[in-house]
Amino acid sequence: MKSYVFISGAAGGLGKAFAAECASRGWNLFLTDVSAGDLSILTSGLVRLYNVEIIYYPCNLTDPASRDELWKIIQQRNLRFHFLINVAGVDFEGPFIERTSAELGTIIRLNIESTVDMTSRALHFRDKTRMLRIINVSSLAGYYPMPVKAIYAASKRFLLDFSLALHHELAESGVTVTVLCPAGMPTTPSAISGIFAQGFMGRITTKNVGYVAAKTIDRALSGRMVYIPGVINRILRFLGGTVPPSLVAYFIGKRWLKIRHKYNGEILKGV
Amino acid sequence: MTVLPKTVVITGATSGIGLATARSLAAQGVNIIGAGRSQSRCVEAEALIRAETPAARVNYFVADLASQRQVRALGSAIRELIQREFGGKLDVLINNAAAVSDWYVATEDGYEMQFAVNHLAGFLLTYELLPLLEMSACARVITVSSGSHYHTRMHWQDLMYRKHYFCLSAYKQSKLANLLFTREFNRRLADVSNIRAYAVDPGLVNTEIGAKGTGGLIQWFWNIRSRSGISPAEAAKTIVYLTAIPDIPQKEAVYWKECRPVEPSQYSKRADAAARLWEISEQLCGIVYTP
């Protein structure tokens, strides 16, 4: 029986990098994202490049009915998975007071609810002849309370704790859970300008998505629990762990607000 | 006596060398079909050329060449325009558009941006416009390469530099790919068609290319370095020179700089590398060139 690598958020920057990495290893893929058009274009590109089998189905992961439909298709086609990579996630950056209730709900539904749901369902559709590797995408932000990214960081904290717990819970049943905690990912023009806005710190903490995807797959295959890409990020994480969370939140808040002011100022000046 | 072509397509024609080439050719009565990524810059470029040369026939199309879908759509829009207004003949295609990116960015097709824009887009657009080029008595495909193509080789094991991306390595490889494409195009098509391909080294030009997708050190370095460069208009002279019809001396020469043939890198002359890149490019674009 053929088994597949399940990737959610596959048409985004990190999703595409995971898809390319898995395809380059000769694995067959099952991709999902919101837009069928994006998935179709990506699928033909990757099939031409790597000559693997790729199935895609669009799904709005924030909508339980859409998720039901996705898993119904998987059941009908009798698909089995040996890898689940939960990439789909979202942030609406900016002060909490400026966020609408719909935006806050979307962060929670996509980052938390859908990841939990996908993980739970995938366990019932695993290829029982192989190990099941689960990768959840948390963030370095998951380690700290982060002013200006409060809900996002808290949702990533949820994914971090959820993954660590599940890793131990499922250890005996041939399932490994690896949680990826990257710093900023240069995936979109706005993410890239965000990294530039952070200046030197932004540059040294940022790693290329292709590299991150490849290393994360290696870590998952060796059963590692957490992967933080980049030595500097691992040092930051270590230092952050030695300071009380409230103090970290204080410093991060000061820094983000400063960057935001500088960045917004530049936009206003038209630089 | 040399005669200029009637109709020319130029990609990346809203700034830098592409715009300078379009302005220069338009002033000499050549029909210009330009392509650019930004709607507003296309409008500005078209207005600029019309202001300089009121009689010019200029058409700009918006297309993001990182997307194969948009390259195909651009090809079909140009075909339709040329059939309708320019007698179904294209004399010169200038593959000038190029991108630089500090980070590994995957296009919608899942390919690395610089490889997609700097090499694959030109490969695919040339294929799309081949029927029109074949109608011209003496057609040219001119690809803007660069001196960056020296001292590098094709990174076959990971053409997209996905795992170990470095901006400059990916850029250098894409410029080498321009030369390999040009050489293989001539090997396959120059004898059986009326089309000949050339690659151009514009030299160090004062454009924004090195500062577009970059920041920090690379941007700083480019800003300092490009100040000592020649103007885009100066760089466009070699391209304009190569478009001239009926013929140029030493027409067999592939690589041109300052209106003279120059010696490209040894690697760029490797027939096996050129053939291999051609096959991979056909595969990645889902096409087969048949003369």
> Hey, is the C-beta of B287 within 8 angstroms of any chain A C-beta?
no
Q: What is the per-residue pLDDT across B208-254, written as a single tens digit (0 to 9) for each? A: 776 666 666 677 777 777 777 888 999 999 999 999 866 677 888 99
Domain for residue B2, yes or no?
Answer: no
Does any domain span residue B225?
Answer: no
Residue A45's closest chain B neighbor by CA? B109
CATH number assigned to the domain comprising residue A234 = 3.40.50.720
Dihedral of CA B16/B19/B22/B24: which sign?
A: negative
CA of A173 vs chain B CAs: smallest distance (Å) = 32
pLDDT, tens only, B121-160 = 999 999 999 999 999 998 999 999 999 999 999 999 999 9
Residue B28: give its domain's CATH number: 3.40.50.720
Is residue B215 in a domain?
no
User: Would residue B114 count as lying in a domain?
Assistant: yes
Residue B106 sits at the chain A interface (C-beta within 8 Å): yes
Residue B227 lies in a domain: no
User: Could you list the pLDDT tens digit for every one of the 271 residues in chain A?
Assistant: 789 999 999 999 999 999 999 999 999 999 999 999 999 999 999 999 999 999 999 999 999 999 999 999 999 999 999 999 999 999 987 889 999 999 999 999 999 999 999 999 999 999 999 999 999 999 998 998 988 889 999 999 999 999 999 999 999 999 999 999 998 778 776 777 777 777 777 777 888 999 999 999 999 999 999 999 999 999 988 888 888 888 888 888 887 777 666 655 444 433 3
Is residue B179 one of the residues assigned to a domain? yes
Is A223 in CB contact (< 8 Å) with chain B?
A: no
The DSSP bridge pattern shows strands B195-200 and A175-180 to be: unpaired
Its domain, for residue B270, covers 7-98+108-204+232-285
Contact A72/A57 with Cβ under 8 angstroms? Answer: no
The verdict on residue B213 lying in a domain is: no
Q: How many domains does chain B have?
A: 1
B105·A186 Cβ contact <8 A: yes
Q: Does B222 map to a domain?
A: no
Inspect the interface and report whether the beta carbons of B286 and A19 lie closer than 8 Å. no
How is the beta sheet containing B92-95 ordered, strand by strand? B58-62, B31-36, B7-11, B92-95, B139-144, B195-200, B255-257, B260-261
Domains contained in chain A, number: 1
A143-186 confidence digits (pLDDT tens): 989 888 899 999 999 999 999 999 999 999 999 999 999 987 78
Tell me the C-alpha to C-alpha distance, in Å, between residue B169 and each of B117, B121, B134, B151, B160: 15, 19, 35, 10, 10
pLDDT computed for residue B85 by the predictor: 96
What is the rounded distance in angstroms from the CA atom of residue B262 to the CA atom of residue A19?
42
For B39-75, b/e burial (b = at least 16 CB within 10 A) is eebbebbbebbeeebeebbbbbbbbbbbbbebbbebb
**B165 carries an active-site annotation:** no
How far, in Å, are A17, A262, B168 from residue A139 at the CA level?
A: 17, 24, 29
